[in-house]
Structures are given as C-alpha cells and as structure tokens.
C-alpha cells in the first residue's frame, strides 16, 4: 500500500466508514454528506484499501481524485466502503495510509444482517439460491471453491454469510490496529430509534460542528428484483462501468435497477424460528465478544420468538 501522499494538493480522506454491509452505512454516509463541514467521496464504495479481495481502483492518484472537489476550509473528509471491515488487509492498509484516521463501524444483530445480506446478494445477481435457509447451508460447501459453480474467489467470499456477519471478530481486528479513541462503533438500532442523538454522537467523534439542516432518513432498505434475469444483465453492465472507473451512481443502469426493484416488506419474517435459532447458536460466541468490546447488553439478539 502506497504511503500517504503529503505532496498532493488534494485533500485526502481522514475518516472511514468501514462497514458492515446492511448495517446503516448508506444512511450514515447520506447524513454526513449533508453537513457543510464534511466532504464524503461522491462514489460510495471506492474500496481502494481492499487489496485482498473485492476492490476498486488500485491507483492512488485515481482514488484521491474522489476528493478533488473538497471545498476550501473543510477538513473532515471521508468515504464509506462496507467491505473494509471484513477484509483482512484493509484496516492495516488504512493505518499505513493515515495512522491518525478515524474509523466508524456500523453494527447490527448478525441474524438479521445475514438474512438481509442474502437478499442483497440475490438482488446483486451473485447469489443463485433465492431461499435463505438453503443459501445458508450452501455456504459451508462453498468453502471449497472446487465444489462450487461460482469460480471467482471474491464472490465466493461474499457468499460466506456466517463469516461476513461475525462483527465481534471483525471489530476486534479494528481495535488491534487502531487505538480505541479513533474508533466509533454505531448500532443500526440506535440510528433507527434515536437518529438525531446518533448523528450528533458521530459529529462529536469527528470534531465537527452541527450547524447544518440534515434530513435523517433511513436509506437502502431491503429490496428484491422484479425480474431476476433483467437484474443480472443490468448488474453486469454496472460492474463493467465501475471497472472502467465510471461513476455509476446516477446513470441509466442504476435507474433501471431501481425501477426493477420492489420493497421486500417481509424480509426476515419468512425465516422460520428454527432457522433463526440455528443462527443465534452460530453467532452466540461472536455476540458475546461484541458485548465485551462495546460494553453493550445484546441479550435481546439471542431471543427467538416462536
């Protein structure tokens, strides 16, 4: 990973929302973008520091162009890439880039996260199994790449729902790299129940004044494609454009994907109590670790309604 480019005239990022996916990162990034004292990369998920998996630009100069429009006087510059938290290398790479960087980690009940993440993978066209319980079981055989029809390793990794949702283990790795004062864990539940308090807590962590009118909406809710075949074609086009360095956030392809999507109001409700109980047992030790790391009572996450 290249060293920080101190000679550059560009203002470089000094805080990072590192994940986790389906844990409120899109909403939080949107909140911060509205603050006149904060500049967020116009491209969400630049993923530059993911040298061990899914990543964006591998060119430092190209990556830092995301911050070329930072207004004069704005010193709080950030980006949000949800795969950083799960990456083995990304957090270390961020420290090599800026040892003083501030790290924000969004957290959620791993059971709900796994179900939601599966829905996102289906929507993205990389998960061929629409039923969550079947996809959950399939992840274990997928650990052996030869046993799967999916050949790309980074896609196989993204279908390891258990690994992706072990947030305690991943947060522990962050604390092993950065001092506690530079890390802020944020719970999705707090964003939903107390958005203003959560937002102000983030601003305090970033040492930014709260002098902007901000709409604290919840974004990126669970959706499913109306037509999976069309969705797959559109996703391939979006991926090709992203690989070419083209901003795909506001293009025709993204608009068509939104048009081809519908809200999945019953996300998670169709999962049986038996499956939820299996997931609670799977994540039990990791939930305990997260409780210790955040000094938070997460016993409600272990409850399963019949």
Domain ranges of the chain: 15-111+164-218+286-302
CB 40 within 8 A of CB 32: yes
CB atoms within 10 A of CB 94: 25
Rounded to 5 degrees, φ, ψ at 61 are -65, -40
Residue whose token pair is 């360095």: 245
- What sign does the dihedral 272-275-281-282 (CA atoms) show? negative
Residues 20-50 as b or e (16 or more Cβ within 10 Å = b): bbbbbbbbbbbbbbebebbbbbebbbbbbbb
Task: Please give the chain's pLDDT, 306 residues, in tens.
Answer: 544 444 344 589 999 999 999 999 999 999 999 999 999 999 889 999 998 876 666 789 999 999 999 999 898 999 999 999 999 999 999 999 999 999 999 999 999 999 999 999 999 888 999 999 999 999 998 877 655 555 577 788 889 999 999 999 999 999 999 999 999 999 999 999 999 999 999 999 999 988 778 899 876 555 455 565 664 565 456 545 545 555 444 455 444 544 554 445 455 566 899 999 999 999 999 999 999 999 999 999 999 876
Residue whose token pair is 């939903």: 192
CA 84/CA 80 separation, integer angstroms: 9
CB 199 within 8 A of CB 179: no
> What contacts 24+ positions apart, CB below 8 Å, involve 64-72?
64/5, 64/8, 64/10, 64/12, 65/10, 66/41, 66/42, 67/10, 67/11, 67/12, 67/13, 67/39, 67/41, 68/10, 69/39, 69/42, 70/10, 70/11, 70/39, 71/39
End-to-end CA distance of the chain: 50
Question: Which is nearest to 247 in space by CA: 255, 234, 258, 238?
Answer: 238
Question: Which is nearest to 174 in space by CA: 277, 272, 49, 261?
Answer: 49
Q: What is the pLDDT of residue 157?
A: 86
Encoding tokens for residue 239?
Answer: 């991926």
Question: Which is nearest to 16 in space by CA: 105, 132, 124?
Answer: 105
Helix axes 90-97 and 167-177, enclosed angle (nearest 10): 30
CATH 3.40.50.300 for domain 15-111+164-218+286-302, yes or no, is yes
Residues 232-258 as b or e (16 or more Cβ within 10 Å = b): eebbebbeeebeeeeebeeeebbebbe
CA 111/CA 279 separation, integer angstroms: 6
Kindly list the distances between the CA atom of residue 94 and the CA atoms of 15, 164, 215, 290, 294, in Å, as whole numbers in the listed order: 10, 20, 30, 22, 22
């Amino acid at each position: 990973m290249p060293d920080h480019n101190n000679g550059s005239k560009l203002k470089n990022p000094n805080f990072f929302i590192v994940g986790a996916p389906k844990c409120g990162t899109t909403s939080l990034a949107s909140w911060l973008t509205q603050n006149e004292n904060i500049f967020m990369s116009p491209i969400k998920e630049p993923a530059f520091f993911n040298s061990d998996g899914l990543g964006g630009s591998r060119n430092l100069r190209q990556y830092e162009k995301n911050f070329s429009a930072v207004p004069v006087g704005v010193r709080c510059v950030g980006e949000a890439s949800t795969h950083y938290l799960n990456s083995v290398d990304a957090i270390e790479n961020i420290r090599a880039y800026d040892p003083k960087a501030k790290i924000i980690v969004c957290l959620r009940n791993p059971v709900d996260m796994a179900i939601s993440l599966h829905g996102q993978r289906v929507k993205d066209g990389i998960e061929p199994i629409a039923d969550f319980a079947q996809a959950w079981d399939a992840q274990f055989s997928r650990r052996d790449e030869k046993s799967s029809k999916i050949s790309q390793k980074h896609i196989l990794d993204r279908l390891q729902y258990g690994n992706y949702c072990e947030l305690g283990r991943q947060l522990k790795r962050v604390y092993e790299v950065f001092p506690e004062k530079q890390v802020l864990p944020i719970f999705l539940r707090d964003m939903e129940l107390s958005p203003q308090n959560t937002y102000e807590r983030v601003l305090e962590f970033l040492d930014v004044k709260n002098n902007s009118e901000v709409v604290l909406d919840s974004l990126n809710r669970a959706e499913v494609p109306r037509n999976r075949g069309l969705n797959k074609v559109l996703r391939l086009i979006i991926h090709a454009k992203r690989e070419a360095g083209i901003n795909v956030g506001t293009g025709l392809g993204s608009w068509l994907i939104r048009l081809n999507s519908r809200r999945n109001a019953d996300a998670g409700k169709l999962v049986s109590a038996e499956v939820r109980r299996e997931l609670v047992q799977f994540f039990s030790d990791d939930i305990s670790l997260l409780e210790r790391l955040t000094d938070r009572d997460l016993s409600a996450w272990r409850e399963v309604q019949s």
